[in-house]
Amino acid sequence: MSAVGTATVRHLLRDDDLTPAEQAEVLALAAAYKKAPYDAKPLAGPRTVAMIFDKQTLRTQASFAAGIAELGGHPLAIDGKLAAIGERESVADVARVLGRQASAIVWRTYEQSKLAEMAEWSGVPVVNALTDDFHPCQLLADLLTIQEAKGRLEGLTVAFLGDAACNMGNSWAIAGAMAGMDVVFGAPEGHWPATEVQDLVRTAPWSGTIRTLADPVEAVRDADVVVTDTWVSMGKESEAAERERIFGGFSVTEELLAHAKSDAVVLHCLPAYRGKEISAEVLEGPRSLVWDEAENRRHVQKALLAFLMQRSGVLEEDVVV
């Protein structure tokens, strides 16, 4: 197991790499950073954070780059096509090279197993910036956004509508249950979070719960929060027409929202496809928190990097808080 000094290196490869208490701690630090975005400089030096993107990105690259700069660090963006990790050279070789240049590594890629291999060899914290299986940074941003709107997370009901058999569905099941929420997935049968993820959540000692329903109206009934995501995740583009047919009845519209609580809020990680998974009216309407949600990526990722680097011994104990 790799270590910096005497500390074990901490990573965020999936949502449950934080404990529920640590999840709450990162969210509290993110809220503090949001109040004073330019005050804390734990990455002063500047320390370099490498960001590698094998898939398309806008919010993730922008929010990590801005956030790392606000912490006093240097964001190094690496084009995944040029690096060709796993083709030009092995993940283990790249990990050991980048671990000598950067104080942390942020990676958006396809296979979760590659991310785990990077973490095994890097010697510095590795952060999942989206894989096919999980999107934990987005979940931290979603939780912060809900906490701001509702004043709490514990005990809230969240309805996730549409394609839940993807990174966002898996991450919502884990992170939502860890935060003490009741997460209801409204999707056609077979398009719910992975069976292993469902089994894990149902047996984990977390205060939240998950449910899977094939009826969109029942899924949103009395929800405090309604969440959706594209029906065509990156890498699934060739299935677009088929997916629009499958998920057609699960669009988040004003009509569907009438079954949620009257003060329900709406989240979408973006990019959004108006008229598909969400109507333009809902996305642009008063319940939509999508722009706060996009901003919050920066605040939570700053807190996460500071937390992981501090716990890994990369930063001095007292520079984070």
Residue ranges that bind ligand NVA, judged by CB under 6 A = 135, 166-168, 229-230, 233-234, 269
Active site residue 259: no
CB of 59 to ligand NVA, least distance (A): 8
Q: Which C-beta is closer to ligand NVA: that of 223 or that of 227?
A: 227
Rounded to a whole number of angstroms, the minimum distance from the CB of residue 117 to ligand NVA is 20
Catalytic residue among 47, 135, 268, 311: 135
Cα–Cα distance for residue pair 117/170, rounded to 1 Å: 20
Nearest approach, Cβ of residue 204 and ligand NVA (Å): 23
- What gap in Å lies between CA 70 and CA 50, rounded to an integer? 15
| Residue in 10, 14, 243, 297 annotated catalytic | 297
Output the known binding site for carbamoyl phosphate.
108, 135-138, 269-270, 297
Pairing relation of β-strands 157-161 and 3-4?
unpaired
Q: What angle do CA 294, 54, 65 make, to 5 degrees?
A: 40
Taking the least distance from each CB to ligand NVA, the nearer of 42 and 136 is 136
Q: Which residues are annotated as a binding site?
A: 108, 135-138, 167, 229, 233-234, 269-270, 297
Tell me how far apart the alpha carbons of residues 191 and 212 are, in angstroms, rounded to a whole number. 10
Q: Which residues carry a binding-site annotation for L-ornithine?
A: 167, 229, 233-234
Is 135 annotated in the active site? yes
Minimum CB distance to ligand NVA smaller for 57 or for 103: 57
In the residue annotation, 100 being an active-site residue is answered as no
Amino acid in the structure at residue 130: L
Closer residue to ligand NVA, CB minimum distance, 230 or 288: 230
Is 166 catalytic? The answer is no
Q: Residue of minimal CB distance from ligand NVA?
A: 233
Check 191, 269, 287, 310 and give the catalytic one: 269
Q: Is 88 a catalytic residue?
A: no
Closer to ligand NVA by Cβ: residue 122 or 131: 131
Q: What is the DSSP string of 254-312?
A: HHHHTTS-TT-EEEE-S---BTTTB-HHHHTSTTB-HHHHHHHHHHHHHHHHHHHHHHT
Out of 16, 142, 163, 229, the active site residue is 229
Number of Cβ within 10 Å of residue 2's Cβ equals 16
DSSP string computed for 179-234? TT-EEEEE-STT-SSPHHHHHHHHHSS-S-EEEEES-HHHHHTT-SEEEE--SS-T
Contact in structure between 5 and 313 (CB atoms under 8 Å): yes
Structure token pair of residue 76: 């190094």
Q: Does residue 39 carry a catalytic annotation?
A: no
Q: Which residues are catalytic?
A: 108, 135, 138, 229, 269, 297
